[in-house]
Structures are given as C-alpha cells and as structure tokens.
Amino acid sequence: MPKFEYAPAPESRSVVDLKSSYGLFINGEFVDGSGTSFKSISPATEEVLAEVSAASEADVDAAVKAARTAYTRVWSKMSGADRGKYLYRIARILQERAREFAVLETLDNGKPIKESRDVDIPLAAAHFFYNAGWADKLGYAALPGGANPQPHGVVGQIIPWNFPMLMLAWKIAPALATGNTVVLKPAETTPLTALLFAEVCQQADLPPGVVNIVTGAGPTGQAIVDHPGIDKLAFTGSTGVGKMIARAISGTRKKATLELGGKAANIVFDDAAIDQAVEGIVTGIFFNQGHVCCAGSRLLVQETIADEVESRLKRRLETLRVGDPLDKNTDVGAINSKAQLDRIIALTDAGEGEGAVRWDNGCELPSKGFWFRPTVFTGVTQTHRIAQEEIFGPVLSVLTFRTPQEAVAKANNTPYGLSAGIWTEKGSRILWMADQLKAGVVWANTFNQFDPTSPFGGYKESGYGREGGRHGLEAYVKGTQS
C-alpha cells in the first residue's frame, strides 16, 4: 500500500528550559546530594540531556527525615480541604505547563509527542484533579477507618520509565490526598519530568518535605525499601524487583502495593468488527512502543478469521510512522534504552529460534538512537518464550483458538494477570469471558483506556493492590493488608 510522505512537523524544543545538571529535591529545595551522578539521554538521538545526582543512602535518609518532619508538623495536621487546595493547584499548574512537560517527557523517554501531549500529561493532571476532589471527602469513601481514615505516614514510591509523569501522578496524588508525605524515585533513564514536577511543587507553595524526589538507579530504590523510617511502599516495575521488595519487607511493619508486569491476551472472535479490532490490536501493542505493562502482547484470534485479521493487520502496520518522537506525525518512537533494546532483540531471536514466523513492517530506521520495527510473530504456541515472557517492546505474538473455552484457557495460561481485551458483538459473551479471565482490567471492544476514576491492578504475578479510583485510596490509609 502506498505510504504518503508527510513533511516533518516537529514540536519545538524551545518550551523546555533544560539545565545542564540537576540535584535532588529534598525538603522543598534542590540539593547536590552526597552520591555520584549519571547522565540522562534522549533515546532517539543518544544526546546527553542532563547530568543528574544519584542519591546515596545518606541522601535517602535526609529525604525520609524531611518527609517525616513535614508529616508530623504540617501535613497530618492540615484539613483535607486544605490538602485538596494544594492538589488542585498542582493539577492546574500541570495543565498550564502541559506542553513543557510533554516535550520534556518525549525528549527523555523517546515516546511520540502525540502520546505525551494527548495521553500522559493530561491524564497526570486528571489524577491530581480526581484525588484533590477526594481529599475533603475521605470519610465518605467507605475506606478502612470509616468516617476518619488515617494515613500511614511516610510513603516510599518507586516508578519505572515507561510512563514517568503518569506513574508519578498515580503515586503522589492519592498519597497526598489521604495525608501521607512521600519520597519518590523515578527510573534512572527518565528522571527529568519528576524533577520538573519538583519545580511545580515549589511553584504551588507545597510545604517543604511533603514531596521529596530522589533520583538514582537500583541502589537508590533499595535504600528507600530498606529505610526503617518508611511506613508504606508503592512500587511499579518488573516482577523480579517486586519479588525482591516483598522479600525485603517481610517481617517488618511496612505495607506495600506492587504493580508489576503483564502478558495480556487480546481476544478477537469471528463476529467482531474486524477493522475496529485491528485498530485495537495496533493500539494494544504498538502504543508507547509496547512499553506498557498492560499491553495486548498476545493476540488470540479465532481460527476462522485468522488469515484475514493477519493480512489486514500487516497492511495497517505498513502505514505506521516510526521515527523522530518530537514529530507530530510519528506513531512509534524510540526504544527507551540500549538495555531494553537488547532484551527485545534477545527475546525475538528466541522466538525465531523456537520456530515462530517473524514479520516486520520493513520501515526505515534512524541511524542513531535505539529503534525496533513493529514486529508480528505468527505460528506461536503456548510454550514459546514469546508467548510466556514479557517482551515490553513493539512485538506481537499471534495464537489461534476455536472455542471460547479454549480462548479462556490460553488467555489465563501465564504467570501474569494484569489486563485482557475481548472483541465480539455479543454482550453475553463479553460478560461470560470477563468473568472467566484472571485479569485486573478487561476491555471490551476497546483497549488501553485509562481514567483516574477506574481502579487498575493485577492478579497473580502482576502484583497486588489497586491504583486509581476509590480503591486506589485504600492502599494509603491504615487498616488494610496493603
């Protein structure tokens, strides 16, 4: 199919005021920290964007102490209505500075500007608005603690690189609304929007120490997990690190919620509207380069329509524009890091080695940076690694089924259980399937829809606890297991 050539339509970088180096945000101020430093790069060009401090154990200790003092002296004494005012203020500033955040997110992460501009940043602001609304109504939210739910105190929060600002909002907004103070660590490859958010906290006059941002890699995260002054941990990331955290805090009084990996089935029945389903398959796995925990990475398609879906899907994938993430026409951006690209290459090589049939859209890739072509594997069986392990890249594994029972059995046959999609015109089948699927979120005739009012979280090795909605507040008040 001919692809129209579009003139480049780059978003301007000039809205972002990048500093050459950034410190840690502790007690309302940027400080140098006592550790080393690291560089954050643009994965699309390998250009160094900034030098960032790596928080040492002593820096994490200072951040936890600042959070404790702010909790005891200020935040736990403030009324919910007043906490809500700060959260509304932060939400409004995020909207006012949305373009700056979107461009910085795209530079640091590699995701297309149309996604950071239309999804990540608006949703991050929406989470602050939503939780601001709860801050003075917690007594009516049917939370543990009834009319007077109590915060945990100081919360340690560790987030991944795939949705840096959105994951920050999922963590900080409900924690602050319920009266906790936080120490948050962004991922090593994407620290810059969290540091811009620290500026927003200053701009909103948030009392010092309520939000502390400590940048760094795994050891900084470990220092948060191990710190005795942390009352609750909220982690989003890989199942491997999640398990280490669960082990590290067992036998302590620390509470935890874990949002981990996924290997979602996107299930297409023969009565589905096929063109809509193809769009949903594309959104499901190629949105954000497939760096999505709830990505529809396994397509389960009913055998009678498998050939037709496959050919329409491939035709559609040939129109995807892969390249400069700052270009408004770009559909698929850069892979977030060299390490992640290597993981994708290793797993896709294993898929070929195990006998699955590999296809990619053959697009040209930029010469610098980290890139991977939208890829589809057909002839995949249940035992293949690409059907079991999370690839976390723009790679779809296609399997077939004959009956709804077989679709359910195959969909549930993974260690994960985060999300699933169902495409059919029959409402009764949607309800029956949703009931059988072991997945925290089930989308029907759509995929990757997010809303701050809707809880999100996993079954099995996808973790425990829920984020978003009223359920998301529960993890931040006393009296629950999580």
In the complex, what is the shortest distance from the CB of residue 333 to Mg ion, in angstroms, rounded to a whole number? Answer: 12
In the complex, what is the shortest distance from the CB of residue 164 to Mg ion, in angstroms, rounded to a whole number? Answer: 9
Distance of alpha carbon 60 from alpha carbon 248, whole angstroms: 17
Question: Which entry of ligand NAP, Mg ion, none binds 108, CB below 5 to 8 A by partner kind?
Answer: Mg ion
The reply on whether position 392 binds ligand NAP by CB under 6 A is yes
Question: Which entry of ligand NAP, Mg ion, none binds 222, CB below 5 to 8 A by partner kind?
Answer: ligand NAP
Instruction: Closer to Mg ion by CB, 46 or 451: give it.
Output: 46
Kindly tell me which residue out of 53, 212, 236, 448 binds ligand NAP, with binding defined by CB under 6 A. 236
Question: Which tokens belong to 406?
Answer: 């077989």
Residue nearest ligand NAP by beta-carbon distance: 221
The reply on whether position 127 binds ligand NAP by CB under 6 A is no
Question: Which entry of ligand NAP, Mg ion, none binds 417, CB below 5 to 8 A by partner kind?
Answer: none
# binding residues, Mg ion (CB under 5 A): 3
In the complex, what is the shortest distance from the CB of residue 378 to ligand NAP, in angstroms, rounded to a whole number? Answer: 24
The verdict on whether 293 is a catalytic residue reads yes
Kindly tell me which residue out of 262, 465, 468, 472 binds ligand NAP, with binding defined by CB under 6 A. 262
Instruction: Closer to Mg ion by CB, 180 or 189: give it.
Output: 189
CA atoms within 13 A on the CB side of 101: 32
# binding residues, ligand NAP (CB under 6 A): 28
Question: One of 201, 293, 294, 390 is an active-site residue; which one?
Answer: 293
The reply on whether position 440 binds ligand NAP by CB under 6 A is no
The reply on whether position 108 binds Mg ion by CB under 5 A is yes
The reply on whether position 40 binds Mg ion by CB under 5 A is yes
In the complex, what is the shortest distance from the CB of residue 321 to ligand NAP, in angstroms, rounded to a whole number? Answer: 25
Question: Which range in 41-49, 198-206, 238-246, 300-308 contacts ligand NAP by CB under 6 A?
Answer: 238-246
Kindly tell me which residue out of 115, 259, 310, 331 binds ligand NAP, with binding defined by CB under 6 A. 259
In the complex, what is the shortest distance from the CB of residue 401 to ligand NAP, in angstroms, rounded to a whole number? Answer: 24
Kindly tell me which residue out of 45, 53, 56, 189 binds Mg ion, with binding defined by CB under 5 A. 189
Question: Which tokens belong to 298?
Answer: 């396994």
**Tokens 């779809």, located at residue:** 396
CB atoms within 10 A of CB 445: 15
Question: One of 11, 115, 259, 474 is an active-site residue; which one?
Answer: 259
Question: Which entry of ligand NAP, Mg ion, none binds 11, CB below 5 to 8 A by partner kind?
Answer: none
The dihedral through the CA atoms of 449, 450, 451, 456 has a sign that is: positive
Question: Which range in 62-70, 183-191, 272-280, 399-407 contacts ligand NAP by CB under 6 A?
Answer: 183-191
Kindly tell me which residue out of 97, 185, 255, 298 binds ligand NAP, with binding defined by CB under 6 A. 185
Binding region for ligand NAP (CB under 6 A): 158-162, 185, 187-188, 217-218, 221-222, 225, 236-238, 241, 244, 259-262, 293, 390, 392, 418, 458, 463
Binding region for Mg ion (CB under 5 A): 40, 108, 189
| Active site (catalytic) residues | 259, 293
